[in-house]
């Protein structure tokens, strides 16, 4: 009875890639490596053919599910259908304060000019800058707030004041500053094609698709800091996903959602299933249901065939300014789909573009994947995109035993140049399981190390894998693997340094695994340490000593409640016997810090051994109950020493939120994967710390945090 639809569905399921300009399907790749590979697109027509095939397959999958349900309800009654499940929804299809300080300098006057030492953006790799909403050069702080690029003379600290404020179109979110240029990313919120949700910074329960709003880049000349001038704007149809700056070259990763076809429906209009169900399943009622769904499929196929998909291809509008006058620009680098690569997995019809440009230049280069977005990791010479896949969501599968490997991650490698030339596609590979975030990947001496999880808690079959890949020709080949790590648990953080790696998994205790990659083709676990709680971010503070932030936990037998924010220092000088050297627990359940789920908020000032973390401290509550009293909102500063551990320098408080105006903002109910604090970032300049919230900067000497030397408003 489902023959017509199943036959049609099968024809599309076989079409993982089509040859240029034809309708002849190509057999899906049979090996994991071939299945992961990208294929150059010969033209925009070929891109559109692929998009139509995937739109049709997605539509068929959705309609088939509803057809099966409708036929079942002929027997069971129209419970779901009568509750509103029969709507012809017309949904568009889219891709979817502390103890007294110890041994700290006394407050005093500092020299004019720039600070001798200062903290910078916390990046994963040295010499590879990551975009954030705040930057500093030891003398000036560059910050995005309230729709403006605001520039502050920040030294001497007590005289911190704003020297310039430039309106930025849209919602200004991130920037780079380099050699008297600012490169500002903003979201054009009023023009969002659809909402992908919040920015995914941690990756445990979110997808790497950006915030769903079109992206604008504004480049400014900072030769005169009191009067910055706009020299170029770039308006993208897609949304900001990630970015890296290497020298004067900026590589921006832009996610563009897949095409939307208006008018698609997934249940037939006018199908009176309740009346048919009263008759029961017989030849007449079954034929009526199938006929209605067959007509719906034909209508949807016609809509997809007629849809102008070219209007959904990525695009960018560039405007260059000279002396305030807009000048003609070069052609759109996306035109003609040159540099487009087609994914053969079939579970994504969106676009992920690596757009390269030079600060001070006006050239653009782009390389685009037609497929799924993913986590982005980059070194000074390579950029990797890791896309998650689930079995039965693709046209084929990467492994013969799908039951044993129901999840996989494809990894695409690109060579980054030192100019605006397009990034060169080097090859692809696949690993079992799914990556958590960018820190689950690391390149060292020609090998890419990747940590993944297969399964989702509380499934007892969940386990973890660490693999080592090497590029051989156009393939990233798995050369070594440690499998079935920590069964029944999932990865909460991973970090690699040189030939060693660290991985934290969790269900109710925090196993820290030490990994040895001295022979990358035979990686091995060297040690394991089990303690309560788990780490969400790890940071090497000294060779052999690993600092982490995460959550304490309350063991409940089969599971554990997450509790307050936890800082730890691990002694890993002997990989075979890792030890917990120091531990500090802050607050109770519901306490939160942006630093727990966004490494850019974690500020370790190595030159002076100081750690600044934004915090909301909640007290009270127990077990699964959240704390009922917010006792601190601001920045906590610790002196960090591998021998003495964490010594509280104190807290630099910011005003508590007005609970009467917004009772939810003053609550203590932050979920661990979405921890949010009112203070967002901090900057150290010598012995002063700058604590930054959405509305103000508070500046204090670390010897007297309770008495700010300057408070600067960020509001217009």
The residues spanned by each domain of the chain are 3-26+41-91+263-306, 127-257+309-340+351-368
Residue 118: name the closest of 639, 683, 704 by CA. Answer: 683
Q: Does position 691 have pLDDT exceeding 50, yes or no?
A: yes
74 DSSP assignment: H
Please, which residues bridge with residue 129 across strands?
Answer: 245
Residue 253: name the closest of 143, 133, 414 by CA. Answer: 414
Query: Can you tell me the mean pLDDT for 403-421?
Result: 92
ω into 516 cis (within 30 of 0): no
Angle at 580 between CA 537 and CA 672, to 5 degrees: 35
DSSP 553-609: EEE-SSSEEEEEEEEEEEE-SSTTS-EEEEEEEESSTT-B-GGGT-GGG-EEETTTT
Query: Can you tell me the mean pLDDT for 510-516?
Result: 91
Q: How many CB atoms lie within 10 A of CB 315?
A: 15
Q: Does position 192 have pLDDT exceeding 60, yes or no?
A: no
Q: Does position 193 have pLDDT exceeding 60, yes or no?
A: no
Please, which residues bridge with residue 454 across strands?
Answer: 463
Residues 6+ apart with CB under 8 A from 531: 509, 510, 512, 568, 580
Residue 436: name the closest of 412, 464, 399, 416 by CA. Answer: 464
Which tens digits make up the pLDDT trace of 318-370?
999 988 788 877 778 998 999 999 998 888 889 999 999 999 988 899 999 99
* Higher pLDDT among residues 92 and 587, named by residue: 587
Maximum mean pLDDT: which of 29-33, 112-116, 289-293? 289-293
Burial, 380: exposed, middle or buried (Cβ in 10 Å; 0-12, 13-18, 19+)?
middle
Maximal C-alpha separation, the chain: 92
Q: Does position 99 have pLDDT exceeding 60, yes or no?
A: no
| pLDDT value at residue 18 | 30
Query: Can you tell me the mean pLDDT for 676-693?
Result: 95
Helix axes 283-306, 44-76, angle to 10 degrees: 160
Which tens digits make up the pLDDT trace of 282-305?
888 899 999 999 999 999 999 999
The span from the CA of 504 to the CA of 515, in Å, is 11
| pLDDT value at residue 658 | 63
Q: Does position 144 have pLDDT exceeding 60, yes or no?
A: yes
Q: Does position 78 have pLDDT exceeding 60, yes or no?
A: yes
Confidence tier at 279 by pLDDT (50, 70, 90): confident
Q: In what order do the strands lie in the sheet with 340-343?
A: 38-40, 340-343, 365-371, 350-358, 249-256, 239-246, 129-130
């Amino acid at each position: 009875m489902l023959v017509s639809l199943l036959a049609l569905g099968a024809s599309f399921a076989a079409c993982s890639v089509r040859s240029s300009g034809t309708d002849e399907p190509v057999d899906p790749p049979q090996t994991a490596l071939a299945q992961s590979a990208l294929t150059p697109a010969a033209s925009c027509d070929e891109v559109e053919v692929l998009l139509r095939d995937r739109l049709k397959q997605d539509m068929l999958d959705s309609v088939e599910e509803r057809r099966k349900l409708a036929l079942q309800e002929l027997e069971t009654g129209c419970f779901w259908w009568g509750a509103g499940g029969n709507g012809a929804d017309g949904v568009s299809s889219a891709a979817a304060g502390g103890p007294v300080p110890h041994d700290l300098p006394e407050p005093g006057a500092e020299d004019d000019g720039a600070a001798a030492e200062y903290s910078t953006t916390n990046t994963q790799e040295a010499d590879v800058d990551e975009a954030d909403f705040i930057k500093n050069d030891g003398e000036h702080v560059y910050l995005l707030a309230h729709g403006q690029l605001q520039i502050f003379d920040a030294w001497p600290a007590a005289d911190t004041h704003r020297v310039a404020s430039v309106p930025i179109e849209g919602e200004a979110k991130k920037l780079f500053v380099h050699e008297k240029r600012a490169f500002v990313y903003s979201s054009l919120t009023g023009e969002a094609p659809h909402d992908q949700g919040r920015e995914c910074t941690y990756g445990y329960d979110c997808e790497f698709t950006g915030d769903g709003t079109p992206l604008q880049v504004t480049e400014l000349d900072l030769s005169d800091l009191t009067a910055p001038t706009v020299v170029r704007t770039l308006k993208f149809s897609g949304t900001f996903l990630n970015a890296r700056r290497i020298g004067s070259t900026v590589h921006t990763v832009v996610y563009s959602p897949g095409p939307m076809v208006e008018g698609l429906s997934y249940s037939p209009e006018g199908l009176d299933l309740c009346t048919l169900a009263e008759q029961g399943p017989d030849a007449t009622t079954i034929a009526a249901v199938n006929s209605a769904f067959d007509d719906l499929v034909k209508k949807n196929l016609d809509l997809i065939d007629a849809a102008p998909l070219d209007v959904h291809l990525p695009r960018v509008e560039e405007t260059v300014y000279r002396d305030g006058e807009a000048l003609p620009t070069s052609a759109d680098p996306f035109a003609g789909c040159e540099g487009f690569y087609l994914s053969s997995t079939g579970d994504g019809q969106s676009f992920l573009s690596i757009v390269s440009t030079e600060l001070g230049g006006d050239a653009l280069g782009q390389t685009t994947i037609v497929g799924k977005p993913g986590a982005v990791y980059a070194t000074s010479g390579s950029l990797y995109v890791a896309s998650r896949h689930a079995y039965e969501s693709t046209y084929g599968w990467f492994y013969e035993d799908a039951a044993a490997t129901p999840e996989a991650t494809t990894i695409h490698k690109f060579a980054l140049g030192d100019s605006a030339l397009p990034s060169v596609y080097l090859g692809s590979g696949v690993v079992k399981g799914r990556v958590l975030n960018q820190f689950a990947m690391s390149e060292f001496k020609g090998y890419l190390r990747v940590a993944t999880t297969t399964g989702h808690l509380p499934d007892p079959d969940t386990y973890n894998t660490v693999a080592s890949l090497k590029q051989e020709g156009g393939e990233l080949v798995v050369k070594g693997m440690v499998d079935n790590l920590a069964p029944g648990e999932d990865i909460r953080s991973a970090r690699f340094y040189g030939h060693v790696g660290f991985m934290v998994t969790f269900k109710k205790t925090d196993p820290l695994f030490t990994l040895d990659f001295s022979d990358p083709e035979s990686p091995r676990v060297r040690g394991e340490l089990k303690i309560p709680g788990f780490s969400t971010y790890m940071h090497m503070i000294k060779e052999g000593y690993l600092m982490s932030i995460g959550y304490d936990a309350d063991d409940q037998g089969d599971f554990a409640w997450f509790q307050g924010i936890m800082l730890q220092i691990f002694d890993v000088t002997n990989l075979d016997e890792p030890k917990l050297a120091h531990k500090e627990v802050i607050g109770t359940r519901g306490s939160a810090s942006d630093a727990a789920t966004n490494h850019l908020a974690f500020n370790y000032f190595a030159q002076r051994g100081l750690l600044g973390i934004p915090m909301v401290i909640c007290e009270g509550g127990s077990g699964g109950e959240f704390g009922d009293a917010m006792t601190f909102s601001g920045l906590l500063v610790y002196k960090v020493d591998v021998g003495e551990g964490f010594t509280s320098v104190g807290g630099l408080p910011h005003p508590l939120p007005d609970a009467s105006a917004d009772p939810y903002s003053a609550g203590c109910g932050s979920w661990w994967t979405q921890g949010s604090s009112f203070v967002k970032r901090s900057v150290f300049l010598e012995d002063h710390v700058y604590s930054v919230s959405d509305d103000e900067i508070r500046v204090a000497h670390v010897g007297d945090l309770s008495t700010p030397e300057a408070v600067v408003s960020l509001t217009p």
